[in-house]
Structure 1
Amino acid sequence: MRTVAVLGGGIGGLAASYYLCKSPHVTKVVVVEASSRCGGWLWSTRRADGAVFEHGPRGIRPAGAVGRNTLNMVDDLGLEGEILPVTSSHVASKNRFLYVGGRLHRMPSGISGLLRIVPPFSRPLLLSVAMEILVKKRREEDESIHSFVSRRLGMELADLAVDSLCRGVFAGDCRKLSVRSCFPLLYHAEQRRGSLALGFMLGSGPGPVVPPGPLAQRSIKESWAQWSLRRGVESLPESITDFLQQSGRVELHRDAAVRHVCPSASGWMIHLEDGVISADHIISALPAKALSSALPPSCQLLIQELQDIPTVTVAVVNLEYDGSILPVTGFGHLIPSSEDQGLLGVVYDSVPFPEHNRPDGQTTRLTVMMGGAWFQEEFGAPEMATQEQLLARATEAVRRHLGVMASPIWSRVTLQRDCIPQYYLGHHRRVESMRSFIRKNNLSLSLVGSCYDGVSVNDVIFSGRTAVEQLLGT
């Protein structure tokens, strides 16, 4: 394999490039990024006074094979001294809230929380789990998350907890999202064990094996629930970019949008605004719709499947208040769609990561997330939504939900357009169809990123690793 072109310099494209550089079988890697910066949705603002604000993912989970894989990468990049861990005993891990009926409710945690009735739920959660074992397995190929959870655990959990969770993770509607694609562990637990409880106790099938390196071993020993980096999560793509540039095998093009790609005798010709790049293989980390507009007409079936993957827009409003203004401490609160469709959740950033506060004087940092699958309905077309409108809605939510009457001393509104792909029913079939088309037509093309196999940072990084291993046969 002489030259591999990686289209897209978000975390998926950077991860794929990182793994390519680890192989002696690749001579040259060409990374093409349309914007002036790499990192995609991993985007941090570092103020001159030392405060850090995240405009995308903020805490990364260490659990599972994909979590260990990311920590192994962090270790390899020399970032272990920058890690900010949050343990499972930390108040931000134990206290998570729902805003229901005009007030905050702490989500049940621990055995005592599962055994008793905890508002807004009308019965102990352990009862729902115990009854779930008796629910008959269904053999449908796919099902919405809401249908799956209401069938197995009850309508109340689906309407409140799972509806809110899907809004927090996917900014999406659990009545449309696929349980098989969004929560494959739940789907396979039912299919292979007949029950979620049995699936978690006995395992729901084989998964990827990633031996833990020193940092991942530390995360297990210290029982981390999540982690960030001292200068924000954008430090991760920045460190990967530095690694790539120092490798001597990577050619990095910024401000270089891909116009179209054409098959050639040796692989592909990639047409940019100011030139052409030839490559033996393409790893595309572009958003699905961006790739669809670059492919040749001979890929019409693939183009259509790519265009059929929807995305949602999220308004991220970072707020800073003077003093300690929270009435409760925890990670934050989520809002079910029945309470307020436009508001997805509020993260109490200063609680899990006080190191990101400015060092002089006590302040409180919050992030309000809005829109998602309901953006158009609540705020109109993204291009018509004003920063003033979004800031007003966010500060009003903080006032109403948390009783904060003061005005923020600093704010930033970021409109993340088309930032989270939505895995609707049948998504797994669509992805299988696309990869089948690529194989049958012998296209030297790999698909990585959040549009296909998981939207979390860990999933996206692992998709880059998987694509490289499949390409190189390792």
Structure 2
Amino acid sequence: PMRTVAVLGGGIGGLAASYYLCRSPQVTKVIVLESSSRFGGWLWSTRRPDGAVFEHGPRGIRPAGAVGRNTLNMVDDLGLAGEILPVTYSHVASKNRYLYVDGQLHRMPSGLSGLLRTAPPFSRPLLFSVAMEILVKKSKKEDESIHSFVSRRLGKELADIAVDSLCRGVFAGDCRKLSVRSCFPVLYNAEQRRGSLTLGMLLGSGPTPVVPPGPLAQRSIKESWAQWSLSRGVESLPESITDYLQQSRRVQLHRDAAVKHISPSSSGWTIRLEDGVISADHIISALPAKALSSALPPACQSLIQELQDISTVTVAVVNLEYDGSILPVTGFGHLVPSSEDQGLLGVVYDSVPFPQHNRPNGQTTRLTVMMGGAWFQEEFGAPEAITEERLLARATEAVQRHLGVTAAPSWNRVALQRDCIPQYYQGHFRRVESMRSFIKENNLPLSLIGSSYDGVSVNDVIFSGRTAVEELLGTGL
């Protein structure tokens, strides 16, 4: 049996891994080491005294697929089901998503009529692209950029506008550099296994993990949820896991505990902190790749190099609150392709999907403006030199230009999320394979989890924690 497992990083990945470790009788002790003064990482909410809630990181979480069900099962087990705020597919926030192109908002085509009509900014009906797509030959390349993949199969226009915007919304990244295989494995597999995206989507394209739905996940299917949040913000999830771990007799949670160095020992690892040393039989690292690389010993040089090659981007997240109802359209929000405005990624109309997060008295509108990402440096310069005033000015100016809002916001919060989203460039899957082979060949008692490797979504990160624990303990949890 594993005696002591050290989990490096107390973001949602490290907390999830600790949660799954805790549920196994094989583990005697779990030690969680978090360098900052709080747990939860990028899941970070502000709860204002008047009841309003603002998200500085991920907001809506998707219930779909095995990884989505897995998270809902966890929410259920933690007793959070009563706090869930679902948004169904029939909700206006799910139906209406906009693109800001050529200085105006365009509703993204949806539903059957959306497939058949020509809807600006597109010059032909989507159905045309989809029908032609079935005839496109399968690529022989083992990986390619998202832009190249979509241009080849669905046409350059969709790649330049819709996919460019989507990659900015999801990864804050550049679809010309991001890997289709690692960022959208479902699309890559559809082409590989069925020769077509359309056929792959219709017929299914390959094995997915089996996660039986618990009561909450069953409810999400029955009520057809598109996304969900929690009544006190998504930070309630890491908080509940932290409470659960604190109540377990086997977990030690350490904050303000930066890992300085780790070195192999006869029994596993010696972990050096600022003020002391910890021994562990196994390490689950939920640290960002670069942070882990700087703690590894010189004997791991090839691993260190590969970890350093995983890039991240910085995103400025500006929460704004306006008095009254100020939106000219209603929906989830709008995205902005890089050809329109490189620095501005998109605006989320938070009050539409989650009106429960508005303050209870008086009509207000909450918006979140996302800026920078892969374009941060060229738009704003070095992240350490930028001022909050400049970011706030840029965000309010965009709201004015894109949405015609002339009023100034009555409340704001600027968060500069440095290195928050890893970028899976072409060949990312090879790099991750190679890192894991190095670990295996050298019998290192080390697992790599978190957003640097197998998916950046909250669901992916939680599932990576579960997978690592299952592999470590040799059981299905």
Question: Is there any run of 5+ residues in structure 2 with no aligned partner, and where?
Answer: none
Q: Note if 1:430 corresponds to 2:427.
A: no
One-letter identity of the residue aligned with 2:93: A
The aligned residue for residue 25 of structure 1 is 26
The aligned residue for residue 9 of structure 1 is 10
Aligned length: 474
Q: CA deviation at 1:466?
A: 0.2
Q: CA deviation at 1:202?
A: 1.1
Q: Deviations over 1:1-56 (max 9, x none)?
A: 00000000000000000000010000000000000100000000000000000000
The aligned residue for residue 351 of structure 1 is 352
Q: 1:69-468 alignment to 2 at 5 Å? A: 69-468=70-469
Query: What SS class does the counterpart of residue 384 from structure 1 fall into?
Result: coil
One-letter identity of the residue aligned with 1:350: S
| Partner Cα separation in structure 2 for residue 139 and residue 68 of structure 1 | 33
Runs of 4+ aligned residues of structure 1 deviating over 3 Å after TM superposition are none
| Partner Cα separation in structure 2 for residue 226 and residue 127 of structure 1 | 29
Query: What SS class does the counterpart of residue 418 from structure 2 fall into?
Result: strand
| Partner Cα separation in structure 1 for residue 54 and residue 453 of structure 2 | 28
One-letter identity of the residue aligned with 2:114: G
| Partner Cα separation in structure 1 for residue 466 and residue 246 of structure 2 | 19
The aligned residue for residue 51 of structure 1 is 52
One-letter identity of the residue aligned with 2:373: G
| Partner Cα separation in structure 1 for residue 115 and residue 249 of structure 2 | 55
One-letter identity of the residue aligned with 2:185: P
> Greater shift after overlay, 200-209 or 230-239?
200-209
| Partner Cα separation in structure 2 for residue 341 and residue 144 of structure 1 | 19
One-letter identity of the residue aligned with 1:74: V
Q: CA deviation at 1:395?
A: 0.1
Q: CA deviation at 1:113?
A: 1.1
Query: What SS class does the counterpart of residue 359 from structure 2 fall into?
Result: coil
| Partner Cα separation in structure 1 for residue 426 and residue 109 of structure 2 | 30
| Partner Cα separation in structure 1 for residue 467 and residue 356 of structure 2 | 34
One-letter identity of the residue aligned with 1:65: A
Q: CA deviation at 1:470?
A: 0.3
Query: What SS class does the counterpart of residue 284 from structure 2 fall into?
Result: strand
| Partner Cα separation in structure 1 for residue 70 and residue 83 of structure 2 | 17
One-letter identity of the residue aligned with 1:308: D
| Partner Cα separation in structure 2 for residue 193 and residue 110 of structure 1 | 24
Query: What SS class does the counterpart of residue 383 from structure 1 fall into?
Result: coil
Measured on the aligned residues, the alpha-carbon RMSD in Å equals 0.3
Query: What SS class does the counterpart of residue 460 from structure 1 fall into?
Result: helix
Query: What SS class does the counterpart of residue 382 from structure 1 fall into?
Result: coil
Q: CA deviation at 1:203?
A: 1.0
| Partner Cα separation in structure 2 for residue 115 and residue 209 of structure 1 | 35
Q: CA deviation at 1:225?
A: 0.1
Report the identity percentage.
87
TM-score normalised to the size of structure 1?
1.00
One-letter identity of the residue aligned with 1:361: G
One-letter identity of the residue aligned with 2:431: R
| Partner Cα separation in structure 2 for residue 383 and residue 392 of structure 1 | 18
| Partner Cα separation in structure 2 for residue 41 and residue 23 of structure 1 | 27
Query: What SS class does the counterpart of residue 294 from structure 2 fall into?
Result: helix
| Partner Cα separation in structure 2 for residue 79 and residue 252 of structure 1 | 21
| Partner Cα separation in structure 2 for residue 201 and residue 354 of structure 1 | 34
Q: CA deviation at 1:93?
A: 0.1
| Partner Cα separation in structure 2 for residue 137 and residue 265 of structure 1 | 50
| Partner Cα separation in structure 1 for residue 363 and residue 270 of structure 2 | 55
Q: CA deviation at 1:207?
A: 1.3
Q: CA deviation at 1:201?
A: 1.1
Q: CA deviation at 1:403?
A: 0.1
Q: Deviations over 1:163-208 (max 9, x none)?
A: 0000000000000000000000000100010000111111111111
One-letter identity of the residue aligned with 1:316: V
Q: CA deviation at 1:139?
A: 1.3
| Partner Cα separation in structure 2 for residue 277 and residue 360 of structure 1 | 51
TM-score normalised to the size of structure 2?
0.99
Q: CA deviation at 1:159?
A: 0.3
